Structure 1
Amino acid sequence: MSPRLIFWTSALVRVALVVLATVFACYMWGMVYGLLLGFLGMCVLFIVQLSYLQRLSEWLDHPASARLPDGWGAWTDIFSRLYKMRRGDEKNQAELTEWLARFRQAMTLLPDGVVIMDDVLFLEWCNPSAERHMGLSLAQDKGMRVTNLVRSPEFIDYIILGRYETPLTLSFRDRKLIAHIIPFENRRQILVTHDVTESERIDMMRRDFIANASHELRTPLTVINGFLEIAAMQPDLDIATRNAHIKLMTEQGERMQRLVDDMLTLTRLESVDHPLRPDRINMRGLLEQILQEANALSGGRHEVTLECNGPDIRGSTDEIRSALTNLVTNAIRYTPEHGKIQLRWLPATQGPKFIVEDNGIGISAEHISRLTERFYRVDKSRSRETQGTGLGLAIVKHVLLRHHSHLHIESTPNVGSKFWVQFPASAVVE
Structure 2
Amino acid sequence: MLERLSWKRIVAELLLFCLPAVILSFFIGHLTLLLLISVFCALLWHFYNLLKLSHWLWLDRSIMPPDGRGSWEPLFYGLYQMQQRNRQRRRELASLIKRFRSGAESLPDAVVLSTESGNIFWCNRLAQQMLGFRWPEDHGQQVLNLIRYPQFAAFFNKKIFNEPLTLQFNNGSYIEFRVIPYDEGLMLISARDVSQVRQLEEVRRKFFTNVSHELKTPLTVLQGYLEMLGDEETKPDIQKKALLSMQSQTERMSKLVNQLLILSRIEAAPRYLLNETVNVPAQMDILSREASILSEGKQQIHFDIDPNLQVLGNQEQLYSAMSNLVYNAINHTAEGATINVVWKRTPKGALFSVSDNGQGIDREHIAHLTERFYRVDASRSSKTGGSGLGLAIVKHALNHHDTQLNITSQPGKGSEFSFVLPEGLVIGK
- Secondary structure at the counterpart of residue 182 of structure 1: strand
Runs of 5+ unmatched residues, structure 1:
none
Aligned twin of 1:360: 358
Runs of 5+ unmatched residues, structure 2:
none
Aligned twin of 1:71: 67
Per-residue CA distance 1:154-212 (angstroms, 9 max, x = gap): 22333444444443332222133333333343443333333333222222222222221
Structure 1 pair 136–88 and aligned structure 2 pair: CA distance change class (3 A): same
Instruction: Give 1:318 deviation, angstroms.
Output: 0.9
Q: Give the whole-Å Cα distance in 2 for the aligned partners of 1:195 and 1:145.
A: 22
For 2:368, the aligned partner's letter is: R
Correspondences of 1:152-171 after superposition (within 5 Å): 152-171=149-168
User: Among 370, 378, 381, which residue is 2:379 paired with?
Assistant: 381
In the alignment, is the contact (CA less than 8 A) between 1:344 and 1:356 conserved in 2?
no
Per-residue CA distance 1:206-233 (angstroms, 9 max, x = gap): 2222221121112222223333333331
Q: Give the whole-Å Cα distance in 1 for the aligned partners of 2:362 and 2:102.
A: 46
Aligned twin of 2:4: 4
Instruction: Give 1:258 deviation, angstroms.
Output: 0.7
Per-residue CA distance 1:307-333 (angstroms, 9 max, x = gap): 549964433211221122222322332
Q: Give the whole-Å Cα distance in 1 for the aligned partners of 2:163 and 2:86.
A: 42
Per-residue CA distance 1:238-286 (angstroms, 9 max, x = gap): 3x54443333222221111111111122233344799957422233433
Correspondences of 1:104-143 after superposition (within 5 Å): 104-138=101-135, 140-143=137-140
In the alignment, is the contact (CA less than 8 A) between 1:119 and 1:187 conserved in 2?
yes
Q: Give the whole-Å Cα distance in 1 for the aligned partners of 2:139 and 2:407.
A: 45
The yes-or-no answer on 1:55 pairing with 2:64 is no
Instruction: Give 1:16 deviation, angstroms.
Output: 6.5
Per-residue CA distance 1:360-417 (angstroms, 9 max, x = gap): 3333333333222221112101211322111112222332333443333333333333
Instruction: Give 1:353 deviation, angstroms.
Output: 4.5
Aligned twin of 2:400: 402
Q: Give the whole-Å Cα distance in 2 for the aligned partners of 1:228 and 1:330.
A: 32
Structure 1 pair 19–212 and aligned structure 2 pair: CA distance change class (3 A): same
Q: Give the whole-Å Cα distance in 2 for the aligned partners of 1:424 and 1:380.
A: 35
Q: Give the whole-Å Cα distance in 2 for the aligned partners of 1:84 and 1:317.
A: 77
User: Among 263, 267, 272, which residue is 1:266 paired with?
Assistant: 263
| TM-score of the two chains, using structure 2 as the length reference | 0.81
Q: Give the whole-Å Cα distance in 1 for the aligned partners of 2:341 and 2:20.
A: 118
Correspondences of 1:19-418 after superposition (within 5 Å): 30-31=27-28, 46-61=43-58, 67-73=63-69, 75-138=72-135, 140-173=137-170, 174-234=172-232, 237-238=235-236, 240-271=237-268, 276=273, 278-300=275-297, 301-308=299-306, 312-336=310-334, 337-349=336-348, 352-418=350-416
Instruction: Give 1:70 deviation, angstroms.
Output: 2.5
Structure 1 pair 2–94 and aligned structure 2 pair: CA distance change class (3 A): closer
Q: Give the whole-Å Cα distance in 2 for the aligned partners of 1:335 and 1:244.
A: 27
For 2:4, the aligned partner's letter is: R
| TM-score of the two chains, using structure 1 as the length reference | 0.81
In the alignment, is the contact (CA less than 8 A) between 2:407 and 2:415 conserved in 1?
yes
Q: Give the whole-Å Cα distance in 1 for the aligned partners of 2:367 and 2:406.
A: 10
Q: Give the whole-Å Cα distance in 2 for the aligned partners of 1:347 and 1:309.
A: 14
- Secondary structure at the counterpart of residue 108 of structure 2: coil
Task: Tell me whether 407-416 or 322-331 shows the greater mean CA deviation.
Answer: 407-416
- Secondary structure at the counterpart of residue 405 of structure 2: strand
- Secondary structure at the counterpart of residue 386 of structure 2: coil
Task: Tell me whether 102-111 or 200-209 shows the greater mean CA deviation.
Answer: 102-111
In the alignment, is the contact (CA less than 8 A) between 2:262 and 2:393 conserved in 1?
yes
Structure 1 pair 383–2 and aligned structure 2 pair: CA distance change class (3 A): same
Q: Give the whole-Å Cα distance in 2 for the aligned partners of 1:293 and 1:32.
A: 137
For 1:4, the aligned partner's letter is: R
**Aligned residues with identical type, % of pairs:** 33
Q: Give the whole-Å Cα distance in 1 for the aligned partners of 2:344 and 2:34.
A: 112
In the alignment, is the contact (CA less than 8 A) between 1:332 and 1:341 conserved in 2?
no
Instruction: Give 1:23 deviation, angstroms.
Output: 6.7
Q: Give the whole-Å Cα distance in 1 for the aligned partners of 2:80 and 2:287.
A: 84
What do you get for the CA RMSD once the two structures are aligned?
3.8
In the alignment, is the contact (CA less than 8 A) between 1:314 and 1:429 conserved in 2?
yes
In the alignment, is the contact (CA less than 8 A) between 1:262 and 1:391 conserved in 2?
yes
In the alignment, is the contact (CA less than 8 A) between 1:310 and 1:346 conserved in 2?
no
Task: Tell me whether 30-39 or 363-372 shows the greater mean CA deviation.
Answer: 30-39
Structure 1 pair 372–138 and aligned structure 2 pair: CA distance change class (3 A): farther
Q: How many residues align?
A: 424
Q: Give the whole-Å Cα distance in 2 for the aligned partners of 1:18 and 1:389.
A: 110
